[in-house]
Structure 1
Amino acid sequence: MLQPGNRGQGKAAAVSPPPVPVARAVVDCGVYVDGVRQPTPPDFRAALAFVRATGSGFVWLGLHQPDERQMNDVAAAFGLHPLMVEDAVHAHQRPKLELYDDTMFLVLRTVKYIDHDDDEVANDIVETGEIMVLAGRDFVITVRHGDHTHLAGVRSRLEAEPDHLRLGPATVVHAVADRVVDSYVDVVDDMESDVDDLEERVFAASSRDLDIDIVYLFKREVLQLRRAVHPLGSPLSLLSGTNGTLEAAALTPNGKEIRKHFRDVADHLTAVNEMVVEYDERLTTLLNAAATKVSTQMNTDMRKISAWAGIAAVPTAVAGIYGMNFDYMPELHNKWSYPVLLLILLSVCFLLWRIFHRYNWL
C-alpha cells in the first residue's frame, strides 16, 4: 500500500512510458572491412567493439527517427557530441556541415515529387524529409526523418562495389549525398512540365477564368525546394575542395579520390540550383502577369460601369427636373413636348454610347 507522501511518485511511475530499445530505431547495421561486409554482429555495440579491436574497417549504422533516449545510447557507444545528438533527434535543420573534433555532421534535406492529376486540387507538390550523416574514423551513422528519405538501395549498391567502399566512411557520405542530389534532379525534371503547363494556362486563359491561387501554390512549393537545395552548396564545396575537411574528420586516409566524386555531386547540385532559380523567376513573372491581367480586367469593368452610369445620368437628370412639379413650365402644355423630349433623350444616349464604344469603354 502506498504511503500518502508517495502517491504522486506512484502515479507518475504508472503513466511513465517504458523506454523503447534502440533496436526499434535500427534499420540496418553492418561491419565493412576492405569494402566487404562481415557477418552481422548482434548489435551496433558489438560491431563497434569488433572494428576497434581489429583496427580495420568501419561500422555503418542506419537509424529511423530515433528518440532522445535511443540517440543517447548510440552517442554513449560512439562518443558523439551532445549537440550532434540534439540536432539528430529534433531534426528540422537546414543543410549544413559541421566538425566536432574528428567527427563530421552533415545534414541533408530530401525532397519527393508528389504525383497529382489536377494541379487545382493538389495541396502539395513537393514533400520533404531529412537525413543526418554522422561520420568518424571507424563509423558512419545515418539518421532519417520522414517518409521520403531516398536511401533504399544505397547500401546494397555500395556493397556491390567493394573497391569503392574500401575508401572508408567517406564513401558512404558521398553515396548518401549523391542519392539525395539525384532525387533533386528527378524532382526538378518532374516539375518542369508542371511549370510549362501553368505558363500556358496563365497566358491562354481569360482574366475572368484565371485562378491565381495555383500560381501561389507552385511558388510556395518551389520556395520549399529552394530551401532544401540551395544551402547544400556550401557543405559540398567544403567536401569537394582542397581544405582537408575529409582528412580532418579522419574519414579517409587520402581524400583526393573521394573529393573527385564530391565535385561531381556538387556539379549536379549547381545544375539543380540553376533550374530552381529559373522556376522561381518564371513563377514570379507568372504572378506579375496574372496580377496584371486581373487588374486590367478590373479597369475594363470599371470603365463599362462608368460608361453606363454616364448614359443613365441623362434621363435621370431630365426626370429630376420635370419631377419638381413647378406650375410655370410652358413646355408641359405643348402636345409635342413629350415625344420631342423622348427623341432628345434617345439621341443623347445614343451619342454617348457611340462615343464610349469608339474609345472601347463599351
Structure 2
Amino acid sequence: MSNDASGRITSCRWERGRLVQQGFPLEDLSEHLAREGSLVWVDLCEPDGAGLNSLAAELGLDRHAVEDAVSTGERPKATRHPGHTFLTVYATRLEAPGSDPAAPDSRLHLTRISAFVLPRGVITVRGSAGFDMAPVLERWNEDPDLLGHGVGVLVHGLLDAVVDGHFETIQQLDDAIEDLEDTLFDDRGQSRVVQIRTYRLRKELVQLRRVVLPMRDVVNAVLRHRRDLENRVPELDGFYDDLYDHVLRAAEWTESLRDMVSTVFETNLSLQDARLNTVMKKLTGWAAIIAVPTAVTGWFGQNVPYPGFGSHGGVLFSLGVIVVTATLLYGVFRRKGWI
C-alpha cells in the first residue's frame, strides 16, 4: 500500500483480479476508470474540500453526495445517483478500560467511511484514520479470481470488514455487561460503581445502535441495486446474502444488549431497596434491644419501692432482667434474619 507525500491518499489498480499498480497519482484516475478490465480503488483520509470538489467535478460525482461525504452527523445510508452509488457507514472501536474502570465517559469511537461506487472502481472517504484500510486491502487480495468479478467484490469486502468490527464491539459490550452483573450481586454493594458503569454502557449502546441498525437498509439497498443490474454477477449473491444475515444478527444482538442493560439498571434499583430494607430491619432490631435496658433502668429509677429496693440484690435483679430480656430479643431477631 502506497501513500502520497501527505500520507492521506492510497490508490491501487487491478487488472483481471491481479494487483498491477499501487500509489498512482489522482491525475491518472479517470484514465484507469475508463480502461476495460481495470478495477480501481482510491482512499482519501480527511481530504480537504477543494481537492474533493475538484475530483468530484472530474468524475461527475453528485454534489450532494460529496457534501455528505465530509459533513458530520450523517446517518448510515445508501443512495443511487446517475453514474454511481454513494454509501456512508461507520466503523466502531471500543477502548479498553483505563485506570478508572468506572469513569462515565463513553469508550466507543466511530469512524465515518463514505464510498463512491463507480462501474470500475470505488473511492472511499474516511473522516479520520481510526479505521485501518490495510486489512480490507488484504481481504481483497486474498482471492484474485474473486476480485476479477468486479467492483461488487470491493463493496462487499469493505462492508464485511465494517460489520465484523461491529460484531467485535458488540462482543466487548456483552462481556462488559456480564462483568457488571457480577458486580451487581457483590455483597459489598458497590451501588455507585454499578450506576456509573450502567450509565456508560447505556450511552455506548445508544451510540452503537445508531450506526448498527441502519446497516440493514444500507445492505438491502445495495442488494436491490445489484438485482437491477443487467451485468449482475451471480457468484456474489451468496456473499451478499451472508453479509445481510450478519447485519441482521448484529442488529438483533445490539437490541438484546439494550434490554439487558435496562434489566441490570432495574435490578440494581431493586437490590438497593432490598439492602435498605435489610438495614432498616437491623436498626429496628438493635433499637428494640437497646430499649430494654433503657426501660428497666428508667422504671427502677423512679422513687417507688421495687424488689430489692435499697439493697445490692435489687441491682442484681434489674441487671438480670436486662440481660435475659435483651438476650431473648436478640435470639428472636437473629432467627428471623433481622440482625
> Into which bin does the TM-score normalised by the smaller protein fall?
0.7 to 0.9
- In the other structure, the counterpart of 1:180 is 162
**Higher mean C-alpha deviation, range 337-346 or range 27-36:** 337-346
1:204-261 residue CA offsets vs partner (Å, 9 max, x unmatched): x214356413344444434433333222112112223xx4x1366x7x8325443432
- In the other structure, the counterpart of 1:111 is 92
Report if aligned partners of 2:10, 2:42 keep a CA contact under 8 Å in 1.
yes
What secondary structure does 2:305 align onto? helix
Which runs of 5 or more residues in structure 2 are unaligned? none
CA distance in 2, matches of 1:157, 1:361: 64
- In the other structure, the counterpart of 1:227 is 210
Report if aligned partners of 2:90, 2:113 keep a CA contact under 8 Å in 1.
yes
User: Structure 1 247/104 Cα, relative in aligned 2: closer, same or farther at 3 Å?
Assistant: farther
| Partner residue of 1:48 out of 24, 30, 38 | 30
CA distance in 2, matches of 1:157, 1:353: 72
| Partner residue of 1:308 out of 283, 286, 299 | 286
Pairing 1:246–2:223 present: no
Pairing 1:292–2:270 present: yes
- In the other structure, the counterpart of 1:357 is 334
| Partner residue of 1:29 out of 11, 24, 27 | 11
Q: How do 1:78-93 and structure 2 match up within 5 A? A: 78-93=59-74
Pairing 1:65–2:46 present: yes
CA distance in 1, matches of 2:64, 2:158: 22
1:247-296 residue CA offsets vs partner (Å, 9 max, x unmatched): 66x7x832544343211111122233343344334444333333333322
Letter in 2 for 1:158: W
1:132-163 residue CA offsets vs partner (Å, 9 max, x unmatched): 11113344211122343242132344345443
Report if aligned partners of 2:10, 2:23 keep a CA contact under 8 Å in 1.
no
Shift in Å at residue 313 of structure 1?
3.6
Shift in Å at residue 351 of structure 1?
3.9
TM-score, normalising length: structure 2? 0.79
CA distance in 2, matches of 1:41, 1:77: 19
Report if aligned partners of 1:48, 1:59 keep a CA contact under 8 Å in 2.
no
State the percentage of identical aligned residues: 25
CA distance in 1, matches of 2:257, 2:118: 38
CA distance in 1, matches of 2:124, 2:33: 18
Shift in Å at residue 65 of structure 1?
1.6
Shift in Å at residue 338 of structure 1?
5.2
CA distance in 2, matches of 1:166, 1:194: 42
CA distance in 1, matches of 2:149, 2:124: 18
Report if aligned partners of 2:77, 2:88 keep a CA contact under 8 Å in 1.
yes
TM-score, normalising length: structure 1? 0.74
Shift in Å at residue 129 of structure 1?
1.8
Letter in 1 for 2:109: E
CA distance in 2, matches of 1:154, 1:40: 15
Letter in 2 for 1:133: A
User: Structure 1 50/280 Cα, relative in aligned 2: closer, same or farther at 3 Å?
Assistant: closer
Pairing 1:273–2:248 present: no
- In the other structure, the counterpart of 2:81 is 100
CA distance in 2, matches of 1:320, 1:83: 88
Letter in 1 for 2:305: E
What secondary structure does 2:338 align onto? coil
